[in-house]
Amino acid sequence: MTLSPLDVLVFVAYFVGVVVFAVTIAARSKTRGSSSDFFLASNKLPWYAVGASFIASNISTEHFIGMVGWGFLYGMAVAQWEWGNFITFSLLIWVFLPFYMRGNVATMPEFLERRYNRVCRYFYAAVMIVGLVVAMLGGVMYAGAKAMNVFFPSVHPALAVLILAVAAGTYTVYGGLLSAVWADVLQYCLLMVGGLVVTLFGLYHCEGLGTLAAELPERFIIFYPATHEMIPWTGLVFGVFSVGIWYSCANQFMVQRCLGARSEWDARMGIVMAGFSKALLPFLVVVPGIIAFYLFQDRISDGDQAWPFMVKLWLPAGLAGLVLAGLASAIMSTLSAITNSSATIFTLDLYKSILRPKASDHELHLVARLSAAAAMAIGAAIALYLVFNTGASVFGLIQQVFFYMAPPIASIFLVGILWRGATPAAATATLFCGFGVFLPLAKFVLFPRIEVLRPYDNFMHHTFATFLMSTVLLLVLSLFTRRKTDEELKGVIWTRSAFGFLESEKERNRGPRNLTFWWALMVIVIVSCYAVTQHYGSGTVLAEAEEVPHETSGTGTVLVQTRAELAVAERFNLWTGGGQVLFSPSAAGEALTFEVPIPETGVYRMAVMLTAGADYGRISVRVDGRPTEISLVKTTIENAGGRCRVEHVTLAIFDAGSHDKDDADNLAYSIAGQHIVRRVGLGEMRLTAPVTRVVFRSLDGGRIGVDQFILHAVKP
């Protein structure tokens, strides 16, 4: 599966074209060369440019690679990363933006100085620059280079890093926010269309979304338990008040697009457009993962490989190149946003505020360009370091930056804009204690060492705990320290006037342009997406094998094997929970028995996730003493165009060691490593609460690996 010359031509043509387009936009600007163009696009961005840029800046390789991979593993629960934004977008529209726009704020640290003091401004500016440049810029560039290398193996990731840095850096350094945003508009269209194309091809091959929901109801569970290892519902819901508020409402590289709008109405309507885009995004970056699991679970060992695999398999010459250009668009948009925002913060919050308060416009523009170039160079250097130190976890790095940077900042922004009693001294102490005390306390002491919190030891819960401690400290210290006067706080404290518009803009907010109507419709659409997904996933219960009581017969050994044990040696990330229960029998005939909990007596469709590989054996399964027929989904790739034929195969035994031996013609399309995970159906049966006994018997003395049990209640 290699790209055609036409794909390469289309990809290169787009890559060059978007740079030329962005530079041309800046060159034709009547205010070219001004710092206003560089920082805020001279405040002339229409709503659709704000909305498109807001989304394009947010989407990168962690969506098309990492989030599709999570969709492969966890299903639609991952969609909450997108749909949950309707809450923070609403806060941005109705609480934060009116004060940013009416106060002519250029940077988020500047707002903190107006609300609190200069110490808060400089502290946040330093944190943002380090976080954006060191972690995000370098991490996104590295992830993008690795993604490009999947499609262009002859291009070394180090070279890909330099290409991305030069391409995104050229128009960002030259044109600033004006170039970045209009390039984002073009790139938004391409990445949305490109992502949708892959989803539509996939739905065609698996006969629609309804088939997926019927065949894989567990992939449509929207809320996982609070003890889930990666996406507990509590972490996602509570995360709205910490990570969400920081990322959407107080994060320079996102909010800067709004600050460059030509009016307050355009800024707020742009976020409504972004909200509708977020409603659609899971169908572009989560559903493809579910499709890949349904069709290709015997051909993939790493969920992160799913999206590139489908692009190469299905898309015809030319279209594949265009879709890959969409991926490049996502990467460059994020790189451009981070670079421009870092340069803006450095120039306005540090250089001008501390070193050169009376700097001319020309000087500020020059410093902004130089700092943008420096930021891109530092990011490229970090990305090159990651390339040659492949043990680094780039997605883990990016996620930790988001979740561990956010809580103290979100606390002082949210409390500060809603309560005039929050004081400068309390906010300063909250920032220092939040990062220096509360974060390490939550991560290394509270959750790992306190028994009642140990089941919830997850980075999302660390974040919310830090947010709570920061907020409590801010509230308590504010009661004993001096606050600013009402006159000093004028314009930075929320009032009901934020629901309305300035007199000069009220005429634009009438009829079909009414912001409230479109905002309400956006909320209804996203809530409906939640409800429909919950409907399909309801009645499904998951039980991780390592948490289910089990026993063995004979003298074989049993242990819980973690994902990391295989990930070190091969690309494998397909077990859920803490890992799998691995049984190594000493002889044929020995069995591994589980007592699977049953919520209530009834009829269930039962399935189990089993590991397959050359070092595994042939297995029979009995449920409550009855032999079961094993069913598997088998996908045959019929031709080079990637046409798929799906069959449901019924077997008496599961041969876990044969996945890399059968169907030699189809294995030409496989990218699986030594191990895969198969969803094995055990049929529909009546089960009696509180437990049912499931027995896996080795027929040849080979190993048995059990990851997860799936129970779907069949409604009468």
CA atoms within a 13 Å half-sphere pointing along the CA-CB vector of 450 = 11
What is the pLDDT, as a whole number, of residue 523?
A: 97
The Cα–Cα gap between 183 and 18 comes to 6
Residues 6+ positions from 229 with CB-CB distance below 8 Å? 458, 576, 577, 578
Closest by CA position to 518, among listed 273, 263, 277? 273
Give the mean pLDDT of 598-619.
94
Nearest residue to 293 (alpha-carbon basis) of 681, 567, 679, 683: 679
CB contact at 8 A, 289 and 303: yes
677-716: pLDDT as tens digits: 999 999 999 999 999 999 999 999 999 999 999 999 997 7
Q: Say if residue 303 is exposed, middle or buried (CB neighbours under 10 Å; 0-12, 13-18, 19+).
A: buried
Q: 79, 85 in Cβ contact below 8 A?
A: no
Burial of 262 (C-beta count, 10 Å sphere; 0-12/13-18/19+): middle
Round to whole Å and give the CA distance between 172 and 25: 12
Chain centroid to CA 486? 41
In this prediction, residue 10 carries a pLDDT of 87
438 vs 321, more confident: 438
- Span 196-223, mean pLDDT? 92
Give the tens place of pLDDT for each residue, 236-277. 888 777 788 888 898 888 899 999 999 999 999 999 999 999
Mean pLDDT of the 135-164 span = 82
pLDDT-derived band at 664 (thresholds 50, 70, 90) equals very low
Q: How confident is the model at residue 93 (pLDDT cuts 50, 70, 90)?
A: very high
Confidence of residue 280 (pLDDT cuts 50, 70, 90): very high
Give the residue carrying structure tokens 């989904």.
Answer: 633
DSSP 222-277: --B-TT-SS-BHHHHHHHIIIIIIIIIIS-HHHHHHHHTBSSHHHHHHHHHHHHHH
- Check pLDDT > 90 for residue 146: no
Over residues 415-431, mean pLDDT: 95
Q: How far apart are CA 488 and CA 115, in angstroms?
A: 8
Q: Angle of helix 361-387 relative to helix 157-205, nearest 10 degrees?
A: 80
- Where is mean pLDDT largest: 172-181, 211-220, 561-570? 211-220
Q: What is the pLDDT of residue 204?
A: 92
CA distance 25 to 21: 6
Asked if the model's pLDDT at residue 662 lies above 60, the reply is: no
Specify the DSSP element, H or E, that contains 38.
Answer: helix 35-40
Q: Tell whether domain 47-221+229-537 is in CATH 1.20.1730.10.
A: yes
The CATH 2.60.120.260 domain(s) of the chain lie at 540-713
**Full-model pTM:** 0.91
Mean per-residue pLDDT over the chain, rounded? 88
How many secondary structure helices (H) and strands (E) does the chain include?
28, 14
Q: Which two tokens stand for residue 641?
A: 């165009």
Question: What is the band of 34 on the pLDDT scale with cuts at 50, 70, 90?
Answer: low
pLDDT at 609: 96
DSSP per-residue letters across 136-194: IIHHHHHHHHHHHHHH-TTS-HHHHHHHHHHHHHHHHHHHHHHHHHHHHHHHHHHHHHH
Nearest to 34 by CA among 318, 369, 424, 417: 369
Cα distances from 36 to residues 236, 333, 364, 649, in angstroms, run 37, 20, 10, 64
Backbone angles phi, psi at 612, to 5 degrees: -125, 150
The H-or-E segment that residue 110 falls in is helix 108-115
What is the DSSP secondary-structure string of 489-555?
Answer: TTTTS--GGGGS--GGGGGGGSGGG-HHHHHHHHHHHHHHHHHHHHHHHTTEEEEEGGGS-EEESTT
pLDDT score, position 390: 54
**Nearest CA among 617, 544, 614 for reference residue 584:** 617
Domain 540-713 fold is: Jelly Rolls (2.60.120)
Q: What percent of the chain shows pLDDT beyond 90?
A: 49
Residue 640 has pLDDT above 70, yes or no: no
Q: Quick one: pLDDT at residue 2?
A: 64
pLDDT of residue 505: 80
- Continuous segment of H or E residues that includes residue 211: helix 209-215
Nearest by Cα to 254 from 244, 263, 264: 244
Averaged over 438-442, what is the pLDDT?
91
Alpha carbon distance 156, 150 (integer Å): 10
Mean pLDDT within 563-573: 79
pLDDT at 69 over 50: yes
> Distance of CA 618 to CAs 277, 610, 632, 708, Å?
47, 12, 15, 18
Tokens of 409: 């900042």
Nearest alpha carbon to residue 305 among 80, 135, 71, 142: 71
**Residue 299, C-beta contacts closer than 8 angstroms, at least 6 positions apart:** 309, 666, 667, 669, 670, 671, 672, 676
Task: At 483, give phi and psi (nearest 5°).
Answer: -95, 170
What is the per-residue pLDDT for 235?
Answer: 82
Q: Which of 402, 404, 411, 406 is nearest to 430 (CA)?
A: 411
Percentage above 70 pLDDT, the chain: 95
- The 8-class DSSP code of residue 652 comes to S
Question: Two tokens at 471?
Answer: 């907020």
Sign of the C-alpha dihedral, residues 336, 339, 344, 345?
Answer: positive
Q: Whole-angstrom distance between the N-terminal and C-terminal Cα of the chain?
A: 46
**Of 77 and 667, the one with more pLDDT:** 77
More confident position, 292 or 496: 292
Calpha distance 607→262 (Å, rounded): 55
* Residue 346: per-residue pLDDT: 93
Identify the pLDDT of residue 524: 97
Task: Tell me which residue has tokens 């005429």.
Answer: 507
Please give the pLDDT value at position 568: 66
Round to whole Å and give the CA distance between 34 and 512. Answer: 36
Contact 364, 388 (CB under 8 A): no
Which of 69-73, 136-140, 526-530 is predicted least confidently?
136-140
Per DSSP bridges, beta strands 550-552 and 644-651 are unpaired
Number of Cβ within 10 Å of residue 557's Cβ equals 12
Q: Confidence class of residue 602 from pLDDT cuts 50, 70 and 90?
A: very high
